[in-house]
Chain A
Amino acid sequence: MFDESNIIVGLEIGTSKICVVVGEQGADGALNIVGLGQSRSRGVRKGEIVNPEQVEEDLRAAIFEAEQMADVEIRSVYLGVSGGHVRGFNNRGTHIVVSAEREISPDDVDDVIKNAKAINLPAENTVIHAVRQHFFVDGQDGVTNPVGMLGARLEVEMHVIHGHANRLQNAIRLVRGTQLEVDEIVFNGIATSLALLTNDQKELGAIVIDIGGGTTEFVVYSDGAIRHTGVLAVGGDHVSNDLAYGLKVPLSRAEKLKLEHGSALVTEAAKGQNISITNDLGLELKRINVEHLQRIMSLRIEEIFRLIAADLERAGLTEYLRAGVFLCGGGSRVPGIVQLAENVFQMNVTPGHAGGISGLTTALDQPEFCAAIGLVKYGSLKNRKRGGRNSIVSGIKGVFGKMLNRP
């Protein structure tokens, strides 16, 4: 008998759209996407909620659509979070093994992880994820599971992603307001990389760049672990806004021009080409130079990539990305963006597709849904880890889950 725990729902409240993906996990753990719901998002700016009422309305519409399509009742979701306040950094924890025979026990591992999590965060911030990278036993690098090894000093390298607690709570409260439970909150960048990257690629080293409407998230993997994460509160909205400003047209028109004539590189065909904008009656309102349009776009997108490239350089990770760059999100649909990214990063660039999941191809092929699909995958991995234990027992929720349940 299937109980509700086999249904995993990913919810992403994005700047341009709200997206719900419903997945079903079979008894063997395989994941199948069975439903998809989306609606235009109107109350979000730069990945953060600015108008809760409107967001709630849009959220209900998206959930309803997904429920209809998947023919299930959605009770709980994995919620994707993002925004300029989300940051990631690496931290190392140390623990001295005290037992007489110097054998490292699971308790020692728990202790060292606890130490690594004890970090100095601003008071208003809270940890979203703490991902362990690898252990050091007496300075020996690259240990993935130290239990049973002999050693005096156990260290662990962790990647900690944290964000502004109130802003995260806003999103959670909003979702709960629609009578849905939040299983866990997940950083969108991590969800996206789960959907896109295979284990081999994580091992080789890769960066996933998700260019969304209001934010651009990036996650760097190397040696199979997350090394670096970041969010730039710049996305497709900025491109439209630049166009509206530069070409002196309304924002809605700029959005349309972006979709019809946009390019990440100034194309030869655009040079000297003009297009005219007409009003409802077919009268010409304005002539627009396509070259300018593309130049404005190109400069903005290139800047986003350059900022990320500079960040990678600072973190010293540029040399470790042997699988290259993976692009997704609505922004990755811009023609010529792969070429531009190759120019900036000087490495292999692949437009990303969610892989390793079966189900609706319409959903899986779209770069916009990567994050939501990744959320479902995240949920399925969590379920698998629980290893058949009854997941309705709510005591086994993650660190943050516990925090959510506080009154």
Chain B
Amino acid sequence: METENQKPLLETSDAAGKPVVKFFGVGNAGLALLGMLATPEFAEAEFAAINTDAASLAASSATVKIHLENKLFRGLGSGGDPERGKAMAEEQFSTLKSACAGANVVFILAGLGGGAGSGVSPVLARAAHEAGALVLAFVALPFDCEGNRRETQAQTALEQLKSAADGVICLPSQKVFKLIDENTSLVETFNFTGGFLLEGVRGVWHLLTRPGLIQVHFADLCALLRDRHAENVFAFVEATGAGRAREVVEKILAHPLFDEGRALAESDAVLVSLMAGKDLTMAEVNRVMESVKRQCSNAQIIMGAAVDAELKNKLSVTVIAAKQGSPVAAPPARNDGTLRSVTPGIPPHREIVIARPPRARRTGSKAVQTQLPLTIISKGRFDKSEPTLHHGEDLDVPTFIRRGVPLN
């Protein structure tokens, strides 16, 4: 195990006050995503590719390439076994850590389910964390048709990633399946899936790099994602012209990942970030926020707005909606700032932001008194019989109630 504080603490980020961002593509899927990301828009970011398979690594255009290998495997890669991927990553933990050094924010792009993506990503997240960066992972889950072994591996990896990274945004590929028609080729489908994921990356990237009028902190984002990774959906939509606010709202509601706005209604935390040219009006902000709020009245809404002269008359909106996966209450979002501040090398980017206008009042941010689960659940015909206890769980109570599966 590496000890902490081996690396000198990060003094500051670069001169402009912008966070230093590094993108890591892990595994074959991650490399492909990284390749799709290599546009001028992301010129400021550093790209690094990590894989266990030398051939695909050679084809990558990333500036930094880390080849995880082991003599025993003779360069054959991890063979779809996350344990191998993990072992190789652990072996080169210090390399990974030094690759992350100097970054304030590390994005991990990967496809879970295989060997490298599932095995390496959690280790990389830990390495990046120890190097003092905030870690946000964008991952794609396998299609159902890839078999349940990959599904299980992906779920396990997701769990590990959740505990290692500050935030995980996952895209269940199966959801995309509904959107493609029969004639879509395999390559197109993967590009399509990747495109969705990249939309999210782009949205978050904008969120972090463009100066905001109403700033969304990284901490806000992490708080939103924490404990809610199971089911989050995101959309990045753009519109131009006079009716752009209305158009944006329509596009969000019609967004395939949002299930015709149903996902929004079910979510319990929503992040909305608006970005437009200098002509962004309050009425437009209001219109977008009102419609989002109407869709999800119970959710905690985090809002951000930024002006970017380059966008001219374009309005772009990023929406990330998160649904709580388990019935356990999420820790209060407010705690987040204090939690993060104990980590060495916390990026100072949020202190350096330009003059902040008074924060818009957020809905749902007030502390809610939690309740002990004292409601008595009837056990029906087993009411009077001896309870079937198994590791402290009463198995007579219907499973769907104990698991908190909603039926509506």
Contacts and interface: CB of A to CB of B under 8 A. Distances in A.
Interface of A: 45-46, 50, 84, 232-234, 237-238, 241-242, 244-246, 251, 289, 292, 295-296, 299-300, 303, 307, 343, 346
Interface in B359-408: 378-382, 385-386, 388, 390, 395-396, 398-401, 403, 405, 407
A299 B399 contact: yes
B286 interface: no
Contact of B148 (A50, A234, A343): A343
Contacts of A45: 381-382, 385
Contacts of A50: 385
Given A45-B385, A251-B380, A295 B407 contact: yes
Contact of A238 (B378, B386, B396): B396
Nearest to B396: A238
Contacts of A232: 388, 390, 395
A303 B399 contact: yes
Given A45-B382, A245-B378, A251-B380, A300 B399 contact: yes
Nearest to A301: B399
B208 to A, nearest CB: 39
A179 B382 CA distance: 32
Nearest to B402: A303
A406 to B, nearest CB: 27
A296 B406 CA distance: 10
B149 interface: yes
A40 to B, nearest CB: 15
Given A242-B399, A245-B398, A246-B400, A46 B405 contact: no
Contacts of B381: 45, 237, 241, 244, 251
A54 to B, nearest CB: 15
Interface in B222-258: none
A188 B405 CA distance: 34
A84 B405 CA distance: 27
15 contacts: A84-B386, A233-B388, A234-B395, A237-B381, A237-B382, A241-B382, A241-B398, A242-B400, A246-B398, A246-B407, A251-B380, A295-B407, A296-B398, A296-B399, A300-B399
Q: Interface extent on B, as a size class?
A: 20 to 34
Contacts of A296: 398-400, 407
B305 to A, nearest CB: 39
Contacts of A237: 381-382
B237 to A, nearest CB: 28
Contact of B385 (A46, A245, A299, A346): A46
Contact of A299 (B378, B382, B390, B405): B405
Given A238-B396, A241-B381, A299 B403 contact: yes
Given A45-B385, A46-B388, A242 B407 contact: no
B390 A307 contact: yes
Given A233-B388, A234-B388, A241-B379, A300 B398 contact: yes
Nearest to B149: A346
A8 B34 CA distance: 72
Nearest to A254: B380
A84 B388 contact: yes
A46 B379 CA distance: 14
A270 to B, nearest CB: 13
Contacts of A251: 380-381
A173 to B, nearest CB: 20
B380 A295 contact: no
A299 B388 contact: no
A33 B83 CA distance: 52
* Shortest Cβ-Cβ A-B pairs, 7 listed: A242-B398, A299-B399, A241-B380, A233-B388, A300-B399, A292-B407, A303-B399
Given A233-B388, A241-B380, A246-B401, 5 more contacts: A292-B407, A296-B400, A299-B399, A299-B403, A346-B152
Contacts of B148: 343, 346
A286 to B, nearest CB: 14
B274 to A, nearest CB: 35
Contacts of B395: 232-234, 238, 303
Nearest to A291: B407
A242 B382 CA distance: 11
B378 to A, nearest CB: 7
A48 to B, nearest CB: 8
A131 to B, nearest CB: 25
Contacts of A295: 400, 405, 407
Interface in B340-360: none
Contacts of B149: 346
A151 B390 CA distance: 44
A170 to B, nearest CB: 14
Contacts of A238: 382, 395-396, 398
Nearest to A247: B407
Nearest to A241: B380
Interface string B148-166: 1100100000000000000
Contacts of A292: 407
Contacts of B378: 245
A99 B132 CA distance: 72
A183 B386 CA distance: 30
Nearest to A237: B381
B147 to A, nearest CB: 10
A244 B380 contact: yes
A246 B402 CA distance: 12
| Interface-centre pick from A233, A307, A343 (highest chain B CB count, 10 A) | A233
Contacts of A346: 148-149, 152
A234 B401 CA distance: 16
A346 B156 CA distance: 15
B82 to A, nearest CB: 15
A245 B386 CA distance: 19
- In this complex, which of A234, A251, A289 has the most chain B Cβ atoms within 10 angstroms of its Cβ? A234
A46 B383 CA distance: 12
A307 B149 CA distance: 19
A270 B401 CA distance: 21
Nearest to A307: B390
A233 B385 CA distance: 11
A152 to B, nearest CB: 43
A307 B407 CA distance: 24
A242 B407 CA distance: 13
> Could you say which of A238, A303, A307 has the most chain B C-beta atoms within 10 Å of its C-beta?
A238
Contacts of A233: 388, 395
Nearest to A296: B400
Contacts of A343: 148
B91 to A, nearest CB: 26
Contacts of B386: 46, 84
Nearest to A244: B380
Interface string B121-148: 0000000000000000000000000001
Nearest to B403: A299
Contacts of A307: 390
A244 B380 CA distance: 8
A235 to B, nearest CB: 10
A299 B400 contact: yes
Contacts of B407: 246, 289, 292, 295-296
